[in-house]
Structure 1
Amino acid sequence: MGLLSFIKDVGEKLFGASEAQAATVDELKKELDKHGLNAEGLDIQVNGDKVTVSGEAASTEDAEKIALALGNTVGVAQVDNQLSAKQASPDAKMYTVQKGDNLWKIAEAQYGAGQGAKHTVIFEANKPMLSHPDKIYPGQVLRIPPLN
């Protein structure tokens, strides 16, 4: 899946994390559990501000969500997503939220003019990390799934 970049001073603050260092593997696994993402059988390694995750996820969507849940935490600048998926599907694009963005505006930019109503697709693709469509923040990385 590849290397994803994050802004390491934004995101969920986990115990033991700082802007210079990602949280421990145990804390990152707790973060995955909090979002209902299965960390069982995954190999997660932390090296400073880089997290590497490998193993097998149930689907491409789960693999992407796992990488985003790990990366959208304070102290993580990169996630090397080496996960494979039992059920493969087309990869989503990743988008870093900018100041002034909202999901409607992102949908218009990513899917084309007149497609703002597709913001619900982006919201659903980022659950459970997003709890409400209005709760996004600059620097957060979101999944933008392809439209069927």
Structure 2
Amino acid sequence: MAIWDFVKDAGKSVFGKAEAAEPKAAPAPQASAAPAKPAQDPDTARKVAAIKAELRALNLDKDDVHLTLRGDTVRIDSKGADRETLEKLVLAVGNIEGVAKVEADLPEPDKAPVFHTVKKGETLSAIAKAYLGDANKYNRIFEANRPMLSDPDSIYPGQTLRIPQE
């Protein structure tokens, strides 16, 4: 299991505001033969639903993607996703405001992905020059971060980008 750190206060705001009403008390449990699964608190369930909605909007939510939220850490489990898709899932979830860490098991665990956190004033060209040796290769970074990026000029400080490897 690998863990990636993200800037918690940077990213897309998808959680919105919590409901003002207090959560309703859970009904008394009925006696049953099977132990009941612990219920997820309403705020956590709402946040997981918001993350899943964002993944659907990016066309990254597949049937086998399972998310678990603990505080500001999201765990991603997926049996069928390839390495590139899992890296994009990690970035899509990590670039959500309020998420500080993402955990996931990537195929080929000995091959660490290369991520870059954007600093103030950086451009994709400057990042391409630093990592790929040529500023004109900025489009490779842009394409590696689709669909999270829709415009190569729309990156922001604190955003984490996936750097494609040769």
TM-score range, shorter chain: 0.7 to 0.9
Q: Does 1:124 align with 2:147?
A: no
In structure 2, the partner of 1:3 is 3
Post-superposition shift, 1:80? 0.5
From the two aligned structures, give the one with the greater strand fraction: 1
In structure 2, the partner of 1:58 is 81
Once the two structures are superposed, residues 87-137 of structure 1 have per-residue CA deviations (whole angstroms, 9 ceiling, x without a partner) of: x9x65410000111000000011122xx11110100000011000000000
Hey, which bits of structure 1, 4+ residues long, moved more than 6 A?
Answer: none
DSSP 3-state at the match of 2:10: coil
Residue 161 of structure 2 aligns with an amino acid whose one-letter code is: L
Question: Is the 1:57–1:83 contact (alpha carbons within 8 Å) kept by the matching residues of 2?
Answer: no
Identical amino acids, percent of aligned pairs: 41
In structure 2, the partner of 1:30 is 53
How many residues end up aligned between the 2 structures? 140
In structure 1, the partner of 2:130 is 109
Unaligned runs of 5+ in 2: 19-42
Q: What is the CA RMSD across the aligned residues, in angstroms? A: 2.3
**How far, CA to CA, are the matches of 1:83 and 1:32 in structure 2?**
18
Question: Is the 1:91–1:145 contact (alpha carbons within 8 Å) kept by the matching residues of 2?
Answer: no
Q: Does 1:134 align with 2:157?
A: no
TM-score for the superposition, normalised by structure 2: 0.76
Unaligned runs of 5+ in 1: none
DSSP 3-state at the match of 2:105: strand
TM-score for the superposition, normalised by structure 1: 0.85
**How far, CA to CA, are the matches of 2:116 and 2:12 in structure 1?**
17
